[in-house]
């Protein structure tokens, strides 16, 4: 058999259009493209996107399990995430594999341990309150930029533990980098010239240099801080952390990890919160029930269900990716080394056999169903599962709690907002438009206490 025939035979079926056209469709209409491929080609299909010759999409939980529990030497996530390299840097935990990955992951874990969440609560509440206090009553408001502002402030303060001019400059520099990365020019460059091509764009390079010009001196300054041991912020913890051989992280490693936490840690949560609001204002009963629960301060079962349902129905990241280091048999196909396999979060979450009426927003489904390790996967899985999952869920609950405690939102019968691509996230196309109907008197000193479930 000729190599060409051999390779066309081994991959699951998929669209035949040229790769740049598939990429453009993937970026412009991810959810529509995925639904169409699932319909036409079945549970496992192949798409052509930048970064690898073939991307094999998996939607059967058994295949997802095979990937998440597979040998990390064979299923490399770092290479699968290489699109993030220009921003995060080569030491980022997201871009490493095998031993170097486990070393970084262990160093990063302590600040994200579930038990530490309570320590971030006051910070989260205060920042949320300060921002939502500025929202106008009776006028349309785009929630997404507001959520971005809140979550960026939270992660910056959690990471650095300081306020002041350095944060102001860093905030501006980070927003500039993100605007560059998510701009139309970058997307087009990626589609036509391949993954990572945008790193050569001078505007992107300059924006990144501005971030580094703040981060690197801040790391050096903090290394010399006399009160390092008493400080509770993430940077101070990371500066004191050592690996099995007693080695701490170097400045460049720290820079890349800080950048990872700042970038991975705010846009994802902000977008999930925006989707939650977008859904809630279209589901008056769900919204009212949430308000009642927060006001009564008795548990957070409904809040938990609302957050889980939002992450199921509107996952901000549509796939997780692993690049095969040797041939692997999945779904009856022997896939060669170099193939990217992608457990498809979006389509797994829309399986009618697991989620009856899968396109409907029904938080109540979580009142008697626990999230399955391979069927509810907004945070990925296995040794690569999102390090910030507990932090993100806690943050979502805290901020949503503050919003519904502080105000009544107008509900609407307008159609749901369409999905829009921003780099690797999928956001509400109208930026989650809401209207504050009226402000509420605070019934208790704080909104309810929130539980943490990773
Ligand atoms: C709703 C919000 C969030 C979502 C939906 C999300 C989703 C994800 C996903 C899908 C992955 C890839 C997992 C895999 O490959 O299996 C990931 C990895 C990661 N996330 Fe998140 N994330 C969120 C919030 C956060 C936050 C708040 C932080 C930190 C402050 C964070 C830090 C990370 C890190 C460091 C990794 C890399 C883990 C590794 O490679 O070992 N994320 N996240």
Is residue 381 in contact with ligand 1, taking CB distance under 6 Å? yes
Say if ligand 1 is within 6 A of residue 268 CB.
yes
Q: Which ligand 1 atom is nearest residue 393's CA?
A: 1
C-alpha–C-alpha distance, residues 227 and 179, integer Å: 35
Provide the angle, in degrees to the nearest 10, between the axes of the packed helices 389-406 and 118-132. 40
Task: Convert the pLDDT of each residue in 320-361 to its tens digit.
Answer: 999 999 999 999 999 999 999 999 999 999 999 999 999 999
d(CA 254, CA 108): 10
Chain-centre distance for alpha carbon 147: 14
Rounded to whole angstroms, how far apart are CA atoms 128 and 378? 24
The sign one gets for the Cα dihedral 355, 360, 361, 364 is negative
Distance 379 CA to ligand 1 centre (A): 6
Distances (CA, A) of 358 to 166, 363, 387: 46, 12, 27
- Residue pair 421/271 in contact (Cβ under 8 Å)? The answer is no
Q: Are 142 and 431 in contact (CB under 8 A)?
A: yes
Nearest to 171 by CA among 210, 127, 122, 133: 210
**CB neighbourhood size of 35 (10 A):** 15
**What's the rounded Cα separation, in Å, for the pair 252 and 89?**
9
> Which residue from 64, 14, 24, 55 is spatially nearest to 347, judged by alpha carbons?
64
Bridge partners of 322, per DSSP, are: 341
**Backbone φ, ψ for residue 181 (5° rounding):** -65, -35
Q: Residue 44: what are its φ and ψ, rounded to 5°?
A: -130, 125
**Residue extents of the structural domains in the chain:** 3-439
Q: How far is the CA of 315 from the centre of ligand 1 (A)?
A: 12
Closest CA to ligand 1's atom 2: 269
Contact 235, 194 (CB under 8 A): no
Strand 419-422, strand 55-58: pairing: unpaired
Q: What pLDDT, on the 0 to 100 scale, is given for residue 445?
A: 42
In this prediction, residue 453 carries a pLDDT of 42
What's the pLDDT at 187? 66
* Dist CA 82 CA 174 (whole Å): 20
Q: How many residues does the chain have?
A: 454
80 Cβ closer than 6 Å to some ligand 1 atom? no
Domain 3-439 CATH (choose: 1.10.599.10, 3.40.50.1580, 1.10.630.10, 1.10.10.10): 1.10.630.10
Count CB atoms within 10 A of the CB of residue 338: 14
273 vs 138: CA distance, rounded Å: 21
Which residues make Cβ contacts (< 8 Å) with residue 451, sequence separation at least 6?
299, 300, 304, 397
Euclidean distance between CA atoms 393 and 412, whole angstroms: 26
Joined tokens for residue 30:
């991810």
CA distances from 387 to 110, 231, 271, 356, 390 (A): 10, 21, 18, 30, 8
Neighbours of 439 (CB within 10 A): 13
Half-sphere exposure (Cβ direction) of 446: Cα atoms closer than 13 Å: 12
- Taking the centre of ligand 1 as the mean of its atom positions, its distance from the CA of residue 444, in whole angstroms, is 33
Give the residue among 440, 442, 434, 441 at the shortest CA–CA distance from 409. Answer: 434
Residue 380: the pLDDT is 97
What lies within 8 Å, CB to CB, of 51 at 6+ separation is: 80, 82, 83, 194, 195, 340
Token pair in block for residue 181: 């990365």
> What ligand 1 atom has the least distance to the C-alpha of 391?
27
* CA 28/CA 320 separation, integer angstroms: 19
Tokens of 415: 């159609």
3-state secondary structure of 437: strand
Ligand 1 centroid to Cα of residue 167, in Å, is 23
Any atom of ligand 1 within 6 Å of the Cβ of 265: yes
Ligand 1, residue 68: give the atom nearest the CA. Answer: 16
Q: Which two tokens mark 432?
A: 């989650």
Q: Is the CB of 388 under 6 A from ligand 1?
A: yes
Q: For residues 217 and 18, what is the distance between their CA atoms, to the nearest angstrom?
A: 46
Nearest atom (ligand 1) to Cα of 382: 16
Low-confidence stretches of the chain (pLDDT beneath 70): 1-9, 163-164, 184-185, 187-188, 190-196, 198, 442-454
Give the integer Cα–Cα distance in Å for 374 and 61.
Answer: 5
**Shortest-distance Cα residue to atom 43 of ligand 1:** 386
């Amino acid at each position: 058999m000729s190599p060409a025939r051999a390779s066309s035979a081994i991959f699951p079926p998929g669209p035949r259009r040229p790769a740049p056209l598939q990429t453009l469709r993937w970026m412009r209409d991810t959810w529509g493209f995925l639904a169409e491929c699932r319909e036409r080609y079945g549970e496992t299909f192949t798409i052509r996107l930048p970064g690898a010759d073939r991307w094999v999409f998996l939607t059967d939980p058994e295949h997802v399990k095979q990937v998440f529990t597979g040998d990390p030497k064979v299923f490399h996530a770092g290479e699968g995430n290489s699109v993030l390299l220009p921003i995060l840097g080569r030491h980022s935990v997201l871009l490493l594999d095998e031993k170097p990955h486990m070393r970084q992951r262990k160093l990063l874990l302590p600040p994200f341990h579930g038990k530490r969440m309570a320590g971030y609560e006051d910070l989260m509440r205060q920042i949320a309150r300060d921002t939502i206090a500025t929202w106008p009553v009776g006028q349309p408001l785009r929630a997404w930029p507001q959520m971005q502002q809140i979550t960026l402030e939270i992660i910056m303060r959690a990471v650095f533990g300081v306020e002041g001019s350095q944060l102001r400059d860093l905030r501006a520099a980070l927003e500039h980098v993100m605007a560059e990365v998510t701009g139309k020019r970058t997307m087009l460059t990626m589609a036509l010239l391949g993954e990572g091509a945008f790193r050569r764009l001078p505007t992107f390079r300059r924006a990144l240099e501005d971030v580094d010009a703040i981060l690197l001196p801040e790391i050096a300054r903090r290394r010399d801080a006399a009160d390092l041991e008493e400080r509770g912020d993430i940077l101070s913890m990371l500066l004191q952390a050592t690996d099995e051989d007693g080695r701490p992280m170097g400045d460049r490693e720290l820079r890349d990890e800080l950048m990872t936490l700042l970038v991975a840690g705010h846009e994802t949560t902000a977008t999930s919160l925006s989707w939650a609001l977008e859904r809630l204002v279209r589901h008056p009963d769900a919204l009212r029930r949430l308000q009642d629960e927060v006001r009564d301060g008795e548990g957070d079962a409904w809040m938990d269900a609302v957050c889980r349902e939002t992450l199921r129905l509107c996952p901000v990241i549509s796939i997780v990716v692993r690049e095969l280091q040797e041939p692997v048999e999945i779904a009856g196909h022997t896939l060669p080394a170099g193939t990217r396999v992608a457990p498809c979060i979006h389509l797994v979450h829309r399986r009618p056999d697991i989620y009856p009426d899968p396109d409907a927003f029904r938080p109540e489904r979580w009142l008697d169903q626990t999230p399955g390790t391979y069927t509810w996967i907004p945070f990925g899985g296995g040794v690569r599962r999102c390090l910030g999952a507990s932090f993100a869920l806690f943050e979502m609950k805290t901020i949503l709690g503050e919003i519904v405690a502080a105000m009544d939102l107008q509900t609407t019968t307008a159609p749901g907002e369409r999905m829009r691509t921003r780099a690797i996230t999928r956001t509400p196309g109208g930026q989650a438009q809401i209207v504050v109907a009226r402000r509420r008197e605070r019934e208790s000193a704080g909104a309810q206490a929130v539980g943490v479930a990773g």
